[in-house]
Amino acid sequence: MGIGELLRKIWRPGLVFALATVGYVTVSSFITLTYAQYQWNGAGYALAAFGAGYVGARLLLGSRSDTAVGPDMALRMLVIEAAGQAVLWMAPTPGYAIVGALLSGFGVSMIYPLFALVAIRNVAHHSLGLAIGFYDACFDISIGLAAPLAGLLARQEGMAVVFLIGTGATLLAMLATLYAYTSASRDARSPHLAS
């Protein structure tokens, strides 16, 4: 399987992963700055809540990623992430920010395993390592682009705007989810599928 064909198979799930990662970036890079801007105490609690949500989702739902069929679970996780980002965007107090961070972490946590399976489902066995490498690179690209761009906007508009960006990116990820699953199903039915 050539690199071009491999990229064609993984770019859709990779796009979902990249868009969902924007929410990861907003919390990990900007939550402490948000607390500082509003002169709130306890930014560490928000980061801890994000981590607890992230790990909690993996512990509670990790085994379900292997049996998930269709986009339903991914869409539910993205709804949770979008809700968390929206709460962070509008948070009037640090308590709301902690809830938003928890929801964001819980929602984004399962996107990697759910879409890794979609990315490699129709990839030849001898290309699985390369496919996962390309898929993982979507995380790096997202962080590399989202963090500085969000930082530039935050400088102009204030920290809350980064969570609005996270909300929008997660909503776009929902649309990309439907496209990724539809395309993966179509590829699975293709008679030209590589073995």
Q: What's the whole-model pTM score?
A: 0.89
- pLDDT (tens digit, 0 to 9) for every residue of the chain, 195 residues total? 688 888 888 899 999 999 999 999 999 999 999 999 999 999 999 999 999 999 999 999 998 888 888 899 999 999 999 999 999 999 999 999 999 999 999 999 999 999 998 888 878 888 889 989 999 999 999 999 999 999 999 999 999 999 999 999 999 999 999 988 887 666 655 545 443
Query: Rounded to whole angstroms, how far apart are CA atoms 106 and 101?
Result: 9
Closest CA relative to residue 49, chosen from 99, 85, 86, 88: 99
Domain presence at residue 191 = no
Token digits for 149?
Answer: 């761009």
Domain presence at residue 151 = yes
Q: For position 136, which CATH number holds?
A: 1.20.1250.20
Domain presence at residue 17 = yes
CA dihedral 171, 93, 108, 140 (to 10 degrees): 90
Instruction: Determine contact, residues 84/179, Cβ cutoff 8 Å.
Output: no
